[in-house]
Amino acid sequence: MLIEKYSLGIGDRYGHQGTAQLKALACAKEDGVSIVPVWNKSKREHSLIGSSPKDARREADNAVKELGWKDSYYIDADHIGIKTVDDFIQYCNFFTIDVADFIGEYPAEGIIKSFTDKAAHYKGEIKIPGIAKQFEITDNKINAVAKKYLVAIKEAARIYNYLVSIKGLDNFVTEVSLDENEQPQSPEELFFILLGLSAENIKIQTIAPKFTGRFNKSIDYVGNVNDFIREFEDDICVIKYAVKEFSLPSNLKLSIHSGSDKFSLYKPIHNILMKHDVGVHLKTAGTTWLEEVIGLAEAGGEGTKIAKYIYEQSFNRIDEMMNPYLTVLDIDFDKLPDPLDVYNWSGEKFANTLRHDQMNPAFNIHFRQLVHVGFKVAAEMGDRYTNGLIKYADIIAKNVTENLYSRHIKPLFLGK
């Protein structure tokens, strides 16, 4: 099972927008670019909402059937570890192996020696095509990488081998995720991480490093765009070199986590992808949930009341809502509107405040981030929320498709 050149992670909290999401990819295909969908949901999200991997599989299958989608599609066991993987094995064909928590754990001396013996071959200067600056590889650098990443690499191998033992060698797509870590991985570090993964015989097809800058939930990139693009291109060059040097899968590509709404990066990324003729996996989890709330607000009546209630409860329980996502949020409490004021807003004003339209003076990134992490409130509403999704399905679906297609797919995959 080999994932295609372009893939899009389309998380869907409540399982109602599968068809609307897939329509965006169908629009892209009409415009000449083929992108495969990857429905992704983590154990944490399933637990908060009360859903299961079986539900995610059912949603994907139904959307594919409804639209007559003929290309591949994937269901991602998102950010799994050895303790959570079993819940997903039966229903998923894409596994995001998250080993960020193991970065920095000190490995046994024998493991270090085995790695440094392999890596010693690369001591000195390495000239990687496309990278202006040569890598200067020293014993100290090799040892530092070994001590920082080997335990994480071994954990990835443990989970991968477990998956192989159950699903078979070529029956799933493997991603290794390092992004939920405080420090980004440099291109030099990525080079040796790939060497380590190759030594473990992991058929890795996508890798999600931690990039420079902040990838906050549901808002634009925070950081120097030029620095990011330089690092992104260097990482691509490292991967192209490592595929040949370490005999890794030829379709290995970068994965961008928390990739939703990184508008300032999309066209520069597109240009780099075209320059090197390589693919990418972009994960847009969370965006669909916000489009649901926007659609409810625009619908009026009960829909607007639901949207306002979600904000009110998220505001009143802000610490609880933010706690699981503190590393990917920057909310200024003083810039959040009072729920009593929001109660008197029109549905249009609520939607304009939440929708990620940077040209609209009503847009509020602090409001948007808080609603993004407030999906637990909707889960607690039960039938009231899901009935709203059914009642106002048409207006919500229009927002979902338009958001994915116009704001994400067009600039990143089509360069428009």
Average pLDDT over residues 91-98: 98
Instruction: Parse the chain into domains and list their residue ranges.
Output: 6-287, 289-405
Q: Which residues pair with 126 in a beta bridge?
A: 135
Supply the pLDDT for residue 181.
85
At the topology level of CATH, where does 6-287 sit?
A: TIM Barrel (3.20.20)
Supply the pLDDT for residue 324.
87
Per-residue pLDDT reduced to its tens digit, 329-387: 999 999 999 999 999 999 999 999 999 999 999 999 999 999 999 999 999 999 999 99
Look at residue 39 and give its three-state secondary structure.
strand
Per-residue pLDDT reduced to its tens digit, 261-280: 999 999 999 999 999 999 99
| Full 3-state SS string of 148-189 | HHHHHHHHHHHHHHHHHHHHCCCCCEEEEECCCCCCCCCHHH
Radius of gyration (Cα) for the chain, nearest Å?
22
Q: Rounded distance, CA 270 to CA 259, Å?
A: 14
Q: Does the pLDDT value for residue 225 go beyond 80?
A: yes
* Of 45 and 265, more confident: 265
Q: Rounded distance, CA 249 to CA 104, Å?
A: 27
Q: What counts of helices (H) and strands (E) characterise the chain?
A: 17, 10
Q: Does the pLDDT value for residue 94 go beyond 90?
A: yes
Q: Does the pLDDT value for residue 258 go beyond 90?
A: no
pLDDT level of residue 120 (50, 70, 90 thresholds): very high
Look at residue 45 and give its three-state secondary structure.
helix
CA dist 282 → 60, 76, 95 (Å): 18, 13, 15
Phi/psi at 166 (nearest 5 deg)? Answer: -105, -45
pLDDT level of residue 47 (50, 70, 90 thresholds): very high
66: how many CB neighbours lie within 10 A of its CB?
A: 12
Q: Rounded distance, CA 416 to CA 407, Å?
A: 10
Q: Rounded distance, CA 76 to CA 358, Å?
A: 31
Farthest-apart Cα atoms in the chain, separation: 68
* Cα dihedral 39, 348, 342, 261 sign: positive
Average pLDDT over residues 123-143: 93
Q: Does the pLDDT value for residue 134 go beyond 90?
A: no
pTM beyond 0.85: yes
Supply the pLDDT for residue 205.
98
Q: Does the pLDDT value for residue 182 go beyond 90?
A: no
Average pLDDT over residues 80-101: 97
Determine the residue type at 406: S
Look at strands 94-98 and 280-283 and give their pairing. unpaired
* Cα dihedral 3, 167, 181, 217 sign: positive
Look at residue 339 and give its three-state secondary structure.
helix
Q: Rounded distance, CA 361 to CA 353, Å?
A: 8
Q: Rounded distance, CA 369 to CA 353, Å?
A: 11
Per the prediction, the chain carries an average pLDDT of: 96
* Of 393 and 326, more confident: 393
- Chain centre distance of CA 392: 27
Query: Is 401 in contact with 20 (CB distance < 8 Å)?
Result: yes
Q: Does the pLDDT value for residue 133 go beyond 90?
A: no
Per-residue pLDDT reduced to its tens digit, 50-63: 999 999 999 999 99
DSSP state letter for 327: G
From the list 344, 264, 283, the residue with the least C-alpha distance to 312 is: 344
